[in-house]
Chain A
């Protein structure tokens, strides 16, 4: 079979990946630097019998995607900072009602309208804590066009498998950069579809049956008439005010991610085996970090890179293990230390943790990073 090679932008690779994963519904509201995702979805979806709709705002964008997911369709919405803020309430809805869904945030700079056409990584904590209340979170972040393709597929797979919204956190760098990528055949990919109840089965919408990872999900219209709510509910799906029931539900929701961290967490450890120093980074910034590590290695410095691919749940064990090996961890990110705080929390003082961060819309250069790194020597 001849290989399909495409020269794509990260945002385009996201749509290609989504379609391969089975996306058949997209609803959203345009915003720079994510707009190409909507544009390409509007072009491609009707060609495969899918649906695209431009909603009146981002709140409606995620709401319609949740509605579509309930009919059995794989759904996605994409946005950037201001729109991500607007989607938060319904991200929580999807978390408690266990609706598979992919939410893409192509991060830009600054709070508010900020720097619409510049990169930023200031939404990593919002991806975890943006919606109110404790809730499970899966958040992935790619560093290249190819990885945007791969992680979009993975985001759909994890959403379907764990019945939860998955956040794909890219940034203006990876979103707009163009790279050559090889597009695989669908048959070469592992595609996961939500588990549905069999026709005529005794079905309770939120009951875990023997062997279930999450409750089976019946599409609306398939003959199982059940209730979905954002209120705390029991295994039938109907609201319950009981504190014992709420305890069971919230622990199950948190637990389904916590117990499967090994399946969900991926990362890249580059030159870490003999490392005495570590740079930790993610997304577009990790490209700079890798370049810096290569240059520092060429100078004979034993430094490695730990790159987050799954941001949430955070790879605590892996980072803690490295903190026992290295003297110093430099966190490189386009914000004022959001992941640095998390690293400090997990390394529990094992290693010195420093930040090389900025939030003025510029990317970090390898030179800047090397300079910041060398302060420790």
Chain B
């Protein structure tokens, strides 16, 4: 293998990864690595934290300080890492279930604190690792192994959830729109404060099969046709009818948690 990105940022001896053929998660992992490269971060100072799920296996392949935690708790572990050593660039990788079901409380509170963590949500609209149960982002009517008659739950929009809870950077893109995705991840890394990028992924093995979405290629085409850029949606609303909007939902500057804490320490030195 002589792909410099892979050699520089991945643990080559841990590859190939465990993901199914056609899984979107690998695309997101590569986008994160490219965004880290573009950001010029020192590998020794990057810490990648994940929970449990197919997506959460990504850090094991990535050559940084990596922490694979318990289901849903990545943001809480990451908060401890970041507050204890703000010099580290802490990136959190979490599935939609990990981040918005069992870890939903940690998501809204990390966003509320505006602590400088970069969260990348691998949203495949299903619980992949446990075999295709519906998640908080599964669309109403879709099927999962625990929604055999169609899901009656209403889904979260994770980007809006983070934004509503106080994230100062929140963006959404898909694994089809990978350049845009990488750009948002780069912006999120550069952003000081809580940032989240929702990376809409595909799980052909469970979500695709259960919902008759065809092959992995068909699912990618579905992403291409179903998402519209926010700028286009704003200029030509007729093009956005019935589609999902991707783009930067929030990008603002507000006081960051670890800096505020350091100010308290400084003040006490008096």
Verify if B211 is at the interface (C-beta below 8 Å from A).
Answer: no
Q: Nearest chain B CB to A100's CB is how many angstroms away? A: 13
Residue of A nearest to B89 (CB): A221
- 8 Å CB contact of A227 from B45, B59, B265: B59
A221 touches B261 (CB 8 A): no
Complex Cα–Cα for A90 and B87 (A): 25
A71 touches B85 (CB 8 A): yes
A238 touches B14 (CB 8 A): yes
A64 touches B69 (CB 8 A): no
Please name all residues of chain B whose beta carbon is closer than 8 Å to the beta carbon of A46 when the two chains form the complex.
261, 264-265, 268
Complex Cα–Cα for A229 and B64 (A): 14
B63 touches A221 (CB 8 A): no
A75 touches B264 (CB 8 A): no
Please name all residues of chain A whose beta carbon is closer than 8 Å to the beta carbon of B264 when the two chains form the complex.
46
Q: Nearest chain B CB to A275's CB is how many angstroms away? A: 47
Complex Cα–Cα for A227 and B14 (A): 11
A220 touches B81 (CB 8 A): yes
Q: Which of A51-59, A134-142, A185-193 contacts B (4 or more CB under 8 A)?
A: A51-59
Verify if B106 is at the interface (C-beta below 8 Å from A).
Answer: yes
Verify if A230 is at the interface (C-beta below 8 Å from B).
Answer: yes
- 8 Å CB contact of A55 from B49, B65, B67, B79: B79
Please name all residues of chain B whose beta carbon is closer than 8 Å to the beta carbon of A68 when the two chains form the complex.
80-81, 83-84
- 8 Å CB contact of A221 from B76, B88, B109: B88
Please name all residues of chain A whose beta carbon is closer than 8 Å to the beta carbon of B79 when the two chains form the complex.
27, 53, 55, 60, 63-64, 67
Q: Nearest chain B CB to A88's CB is how many angstroms away? A: 11
Complex Cα–Cα for A55 and B63 (A): 29
- 8 Å CB contact of B43 from A53, A72, A225: A225
Please name all residues of chain A whose beta carbon is closer than 8 Å to the beta carbon of B78 when the two chains form the complex.
67
Verify if A115 is at the interface (C-beta below 8 Å from B).
Answer: no
A67 touches B14 (CB 8 A): no
Complex Cα–Cα for A303 and B184 (A): 73
Verify if B221 is at the interface (C-beta below 8 Å from A).
Answer: no
- 8 Å CB contact of A223 from B44, B105, B106: B44
Complex Cα–Cα for A25 and B80 (A): 9
Q: Nearest chain B CB to A341's CB is how many angstroms away? A: 30
Complex Cα–Cα for A222 and B81 (A): 13
Verify if B68 is at the interface (C-beta below 8 Å from A).
Answer: yes
Question: Given A47-B268, A56-B106, A60-B106, A228 and B84 touching (CB < 8 A)?
Answer: no
Complex Cα–Cα for A25 and B105 (A): 22
Complex Cα–Cα for A82 and B219 (A): 45
Verify if A93 is at the interface (C-beta below 8 Å from B).
Answer: yes
Q: Nearest chain B CB to A345's CB is how many angstroms away? A: 31
A75 touches B65 (CB 8 A): no
Please name all residues of chain A whose beta carbon is closer than 8 Å to the beta carbon of B68 when the two chains form the complex.
227-231, 239
B65 touches A225 (CB 8 A): yes
B69 touches A225 (CB 8 A): no
Verify if A226 is at the interface (C-beta below 8 Å from B).
Answer: yes
Verify if A65 is at the interface (C-beta below 8 Å from B).
Answer: yes
- 8 Å CB contact of B70 from A65, A93, A221, A225: A93
Q: Nearest chain A CB to B262's CB is how many angstroms away? A: 9
Verify if A367 is at the interface (C-beta below 8 Å from B).
Answer: no
B-facing residues in A71-100 (Cβ within 8 Å): 71-73, 75, 89-90, 93
Verify if A253 is at the interface (C-beta below 8 Å from B).
Answer: no
Complex Cα–Cα for A63 and B77 (A): 5
Complex Cα–Cα for A239 and B81 (A): 22
Q: Nearest chain B CB to A79's CB is how many angstroms away? A: 15
Please name all residues of chain B whose beta carbon is closer than 8 Å to the beta carbon of A27 when the two chains form the complex.
79-80
Residue of A nearest to B43 (CB): A225
Please name all residues of chain A whose beta carbon is closer than 8 Å to the beta carbon of B105 when the two chains form the complex.
56-57, 60
A228 touches B66 (CB 8 A): yes
Verify if B47 is at the interface (C-beta below 8 Å from A).
Answer: yes
Verify if A70 is at the interface (C-beta below 8 Å from B).
Answer: yes
Q: Nearest chain A CB to B154's CB is how many angstroms away? A: 24
Complex Cα–Cα for A68 and B82 (A): 8
B 138-173 to A, binary, CB cutoff 8 A, 1 in contact else 0: 000000000000000000000000000000000000
Residue of A nearest to B108 (CB): A56
Question: Given A56-B109, A225-B43, A66 and B65 touching (CB < 8 A)?
Answer: no
Complex Cα–Cα for A238 and B80 (A): 22
Complex Cα–Cα for A57 and B109 (A): 10
Q: Nearest chain B CB to A11's CB is how many angstroms away? A: 22
Please name all residues of chain B whose beta carbon is closer than 8 Å to the beta carbon of A93 when the two chains form the complex.
69-70
Please name all residues of chain A whose beta carbon is closer than 8 Å to the beta carbon of B49 when the two chains form the complex.
67
Q: Nearest chain B CB to A93's CB is how many angstroms away? A: 5
Verify if A49 is at the interface (C-beta below 8 Å from B).
Answer: yes
Q: Which 8 A-B pairs have the closest CB atoms?
A: A67-B80, A64-B80, A63-B76, A68-B84, A60-B76, A67-B81, A71-B85, A229-B68
Some 30 contacts from A to B, beta carbons below 8 A apart, are: A25-B80, A46-B264, A46-B265, A47-B268, A49-B265, A53-B79, A55-B76, A56-B76, A59-B76, A63-B79, A64-B76, A64-B77, A66-B69, A66-B77, A67-B77, A67-B80, A71-B84, A219-B85, A220-B47, A222-B44, A225-B44, A225-B66, A226-B65, A226-B66, A227-B60, A228-B68, A229-B60, A229-B68, A238-B14, A239-B68
Query: Chain B: residues with CB nearer than 8 A to chain A?
Result: 14, 43-45, 47, 49, 59-60, 63-70, 73, 76-85, 87-88, 105-106, 109, 261, 264-265, 268
**Apart from A63-B80, A239-B68, what 11 extra A-B contacts exist at CB < 8 Å?**
A25-B84, A55-B76, A56-B109, A60-B73, A60-B79, A60-B105, A67-B84, A70-B67, A70-B80, A75-B84, A227-B67
